[in-house]
Amino acid sequence: MTPPVVTTVADLRAAVAAGRAAGRVGFVPTMGALHAGHAQLVRTSAKLCRFTVVSVFVNPTQFGPTEDFAKYPRTLEADRVVCGEAGADLVFAPDAAEVYPAGSATVVEVPGVSDVLEGPARPGHFRGVCTVVLKLFNMVQPDVAVFGAKDAQQVRVVKAMVRDLNVPVDIVVEPTVREPDGLAMSSRNRYLSPAERAVAPGIYRALQAVRSRALAGEWDVARLESALAAALAAIPGGRLDYARIVDDATLQPMARLDRPALAAVALSLGTTRLIDNVTIP
């Protein structure tokens, strides 16, 4: 059944209060344009909780001046169908004025973990993410919130915010959902031309190769990063932003693989910027 849509915080809280009577409340924050990866997050929430809310809100504060806010896909009716099939009970689709009332000035930042990888490339992005996620947590007041591992840095930033500000929500992280050829599912994949889509799986193959090399005994991070960058540079038409292997918890640089690590990359094909990652135990 297609879940109902509410657009105001007052209606959201009334619906959540009724749903909470049945048990725990789960929450999946999204910007819409939902795909099978989002559906997996919703299914996980529905398994863990009796009432699941999915937010559909294209957050203007996490887009930079040269990014794709205006053309970001808005597909609410299709998103409702995805939510219903995955087990969501309610869709919260506010407008910007509902989330950011006139005069809103408070922002939330998590220094350190926000300042690496995506941080330099997208100034202010994680400030926007943290601010809207905390606002949504306060609006929904969920017991559980489910995120995807593809946005590895976002997950770590949100976890740090929840810890530092004593937010009473459990963060659950689901593995990245991939296309059959390995490309990580993303709302931005629809921007790829057929030629770009054909070569995009090379990103995951490069990550898999460097992970295999590490597990085979190569522990020198500089050599691993060099091999990763070389594999990504071989993708036709690709423009590499970064290829890093960092501490899995803090995202800070490391010299040797003497603790769990994250191999993270950002690469553009045409006008589409793709990110992906794998963990290295």
DSSP letters for 136-154 = HHHHH--SEEEEETTSHHH
| Active-site pick, 25, 27, 29, 38 | 38
Rounded Cα–Cα distance for residues 259 and 128 (Å): 31
Instruction: Check residue 72 and give its pLDDT.
Output: 84
pLDDT (0 to 100) of residue 69: 79
Q: Where are the beta strands (DSSP E) in 57-105?
A: 90-92
DSSP 8-state code for residue 68: -
pLDDT band (50, 70, 90) for residue 31: very high
pLDDT confidence of 16, banded at 50, 70, 90? Answer: very high
Task: Yes or no: say if 159 and 133 are a contact pair by the CB < 8 Å rule.
Answer: no
In this prediction, residue 1 carries a pLDDT of 83
Under the banding of pLDDT at 50, 70 and 90, the label for residue 71 is confident
Mind listing the pLDDT tens digit for each residue in 226-239? 999 999 999 999 99
Asked if 38 is an active-site residue, the reply is yes
Burial of 141 (0-12, 13-18, 19+ CB in 10 A): middle
Q: Residue 160 is which amino acid? A: A
Q: Find all residues with CB under 8 Å of 203, minimum gap 6, and list them.
A: 183, 184, 232, 235, 265, 267, 274, 276
**Which residues have a Cβ under 8 Å from the Cβ of 108 and sit 6 or more positions away?**
127, 130, 131, 134, 161, 165
Q: What is the pLDDT of residue 90?
A: 98
What structural domains does the chain harbor?
A: 5-174 (3.40.50.620), 187-280 (3.30.1300.10)
How far apart, in Å, are the Cα atoms of 211 and each of 89, 217, 227?
A: 39, 10, 11
Please provide residue 117's backbone torsions phi and psi, each rounded to the nearest 5 degrees.
50, -105
Task: Count CB-CB contacts under 10 A for residue 43.
Answer: 18
The helix or strand, by DSSP H or E, that contains position 266, with its residue range, turns out to be: strand 261-269
Residue 173 has a pLDDT of: 98
Residues 238-273: tens digit of each pLDDT:
999 999 999 999 999 999 999 999 999 999 999 999
At residue 49, the pLDDT reads: 98
Position 226, amino acid = S
Smallest CA-to-CA distance from 41 within 56, 59, 19 is with 56
pLDDT over 80 at 63, yes or no: yes
CA-to-CA distance for 146 and 172, rounded, in angstroms? 5
| Conformation bin of residue 242: beta by default, left when phi > 0, alpha when psi is -120 to 50 | beta
DSSP letter (8 states) at residue 191: G
Residue 67 has pLDDT above 80, yes or no: no
Q: Is the pLDDT of residue 65 over 80?
A: no
